[in-house]
Amino acid sequence: MKSEADRYHGRVLVTGAGGFIGHHLVKFLKSKGLWVRGVDIKKPEYEPSPADEFLVQDLRVPENCQQSVRGVRDVYQLAADMGGIGYITRNFASLSRNNVLINANMLEASHLEGVDRYLYSSSACVYPSFLQHAESVKGLREQDAIPADPEKGYGWEKLFAEQLTTYYGEDHGLGVHVVRLHNVYGPLGAYEGGREKAPAAICRKVAEAEEGSAIEVWGDGEQTRSFCYVGDCVDGLSRIMESDDAKPINLGTEELVTINELVELVCGIAGKHLRKQYDVSQPQGVRARNSDNSRLRKVLNWEPKTRLEDGLKRTYPWIWSRLDKTGTAKPPRPKEALGPPIPR
Ligand code: NAD
């Protein structure tokens, strides 16, 4: 007789499938020939989901989680109430509550329904802020997360959800993976409305700016980050799911840039010369943050390869063409996307 795992081989659930990374992940897994169920509280905004089945469900409700995981072998848990730094620093209580409920209910449902493998999408926001004050930052290693001092609200919840995921592995034999994502960007992601992250926000501001004008930059622009192209991110998530590794693992790049450098890259791609107007009253998050990919390289013999400039060459034209439809994009019209293709 077939085991449960054999029976459900190739059947995968992606939660957060109406969101940025989840939607790309569904496309990626479909391209690998898997049967995919997507679940989200909303459908993808910019194009239809290629999922075999798409459930619109609120995953704060236990019964909805149980219905969502029924009959699948693997769960990619990407659903979360989240957004850019402005959003996560304005909604501590509601965001933490929503994510606590989603994560606790998804784990219990996966245990009850006999799921084989469970991947939790955590974040670099779990790392202690006391390690991220200096601009000359060292890459963050997985073991640096505890003793803890994570991002208020969003980061604390992620850190506890990592622990909870680990306990379900230890106590119930769930095959868990915990992945710490570092600033993912690319086409088909939020670029306005407050949930957008820095690369999309900068692309939007540059696209809407007249040649020679100024754009607003939050902080003094000298804060640093590394950014991971979404095509690499979904590839990495699937590789980690296939690995035997159960401990937290970084998924990002080590290409550290200042926000000023990010702006210059986007201006170069856009063919615009713009001034920067700094607003230091806006939230900026930690001063400096980079990934240390040593463990990722060791476990997977792989790491994200897309250079930031190449990823932005795909992201900027997409955002510009979206804004062009509403009449707010300013010339010049960007050339066709030049960067590497998003895995399909
Ligand atoms: P996203 O906001 O685009 O996607 C999250 C999705 O979860 C959304 O579509 C949202 O509707 C859905 N969701 C929220 N509440 C829900 C609920 N109650 N029931 C069902 N669905 C619900 O964000 P994303 O960038 O695609 O991020 C995916 C995951 O990766 C999240 O867990 C996020 O915390 C994590 N992450 C992302 C980044 C990044 O840079 N994008 C960095 C670190 C971690």
- Euclidean distance between CA atoms 36 and 31, whole angstroms: 10
pLDDT at 142 (0 to 100): 98
User: Sign (positive/negative) of CA torsion 238, 239, 242, 243?
Assistant: negative
Q: Is 274 in the pocket of ligand 1 (CB under 6 A)?
A: no
Q: Is 29 in the pocket of ligand 1 (CB under 6 A)?
A: no
Please identify which of the residues 154, 191, 229, 316 carries the catalytic annotation.
154
* Ligand 1: centre distance to CA 184 (Å): 11
- Euclidean distance between CA atoms 146 and 341, whole angstroms: 37
240, two tokens: 């980690």
- The rounded Cα 259 to chain-centroid distance in angstroms is 18
- Euclidean distance between CA atoms 58 and 322, whole angstroms: 28
- pLDDT tens profile 111-125: 999 999 999 999 999
* Ligand 1: centre distance to CA 298 (Å): 27
pLDDT at 119 (0 to 100): 98
69, two tokens: 């995981």
Q: Is 14 in the pocket of ligand 1 (CB under 6 A)?
A: no
Q: Is 80 in the pocket of ligand 1 (CB under 6 A)?
A: yes
228, two tokens: 């991971």
Note whether 77 and 53 are within 8 A (CB): no
pLDDT averaged per 10 residues, the chain (length 344): 54 98 97 96 97 98 98 98 91 97 98 98 97 88 98 97 98 98 97 93 98 96 96 98 97 97 98 97 91 98 97 96 97 76 52
Residue type, 104: A
Indicate the top mutation candidate among 103, 179, 181, 251 to test ligand 1's pocket, ranked by most ligand atoms within 8 A of CB.
Answer: 181
Atom of ligand 1 at shortest distance to CA of 122?
44
Q: Is 41 in the pocket of ligand 1 (CB under 6 A)?
A: yes
- Euclidean distance between CA atoms 202 and 206, whole angstroms: 6
User: Does residue 147 have a cis peptide bond before it, meaning omega lies within 30 degrees of 0?
Assistant: yes
- Euclidean distance between CA atoms 51 and 25, whole angstroms: 10
Note whether 208 and 267 are within 8 A (CB): no
229 carries an active-site annotation: no
Q: Is 107 in the pocket of ligand 1 (CB under 6 A)?
A: no
Nearest CA to ligand 1 atom 3: 19
pLDDT at 252 (0 to 100): 98
Q: Is 272 in the pocket of ligand 1 (CB under 6 A)?
A: no
- pLDDT tens profile 292-313: 999 999 999 999 999 999 999 9
Name the nearest CA neighbour of 25 among 187, 271, 234, 221.
234
pLDDT at 341 (0 to 100): 58
Atom of ligand 1 at shortest distance to CA of 124?
43
DSSP letter string over 49-108?
---SEEEE--TTSHHHHHHHHTT-SEEEE------SHHHHTT-HHHHHHHHHHHHHHHHH
Atom of ligand 1 at shortest distance to CA of 102?
18
Atom of ligand 1 at shortest distance to CA of 58?
19
Indicate the top mutation candidate among 78, 85, 107 to test ligand 1's pocket, ranked by most ligand atoms within 8 A of CB.
Answer: 78
* Ligand 1: centre distance to CA 209 (Å): 29
* Ligand 1: centre distance to CA 212 (Å): 36
Q: Is 181 in the pocket of ligand 1 (CB under 6 A)?
A: yes
pLDDT at 177 (0 to 100): 98
Domains of the chain: 9-184+229-251 (3.40.50.720), 186-226+255-289+307-325 (3.90.25.10)
DSSP letter string over 180-245?
EE--EE-TTS--SSS---HHHHHHHHHHHSPTT-EEEEETTS--EEE-EEHHHHHHHHHHHHHSS-
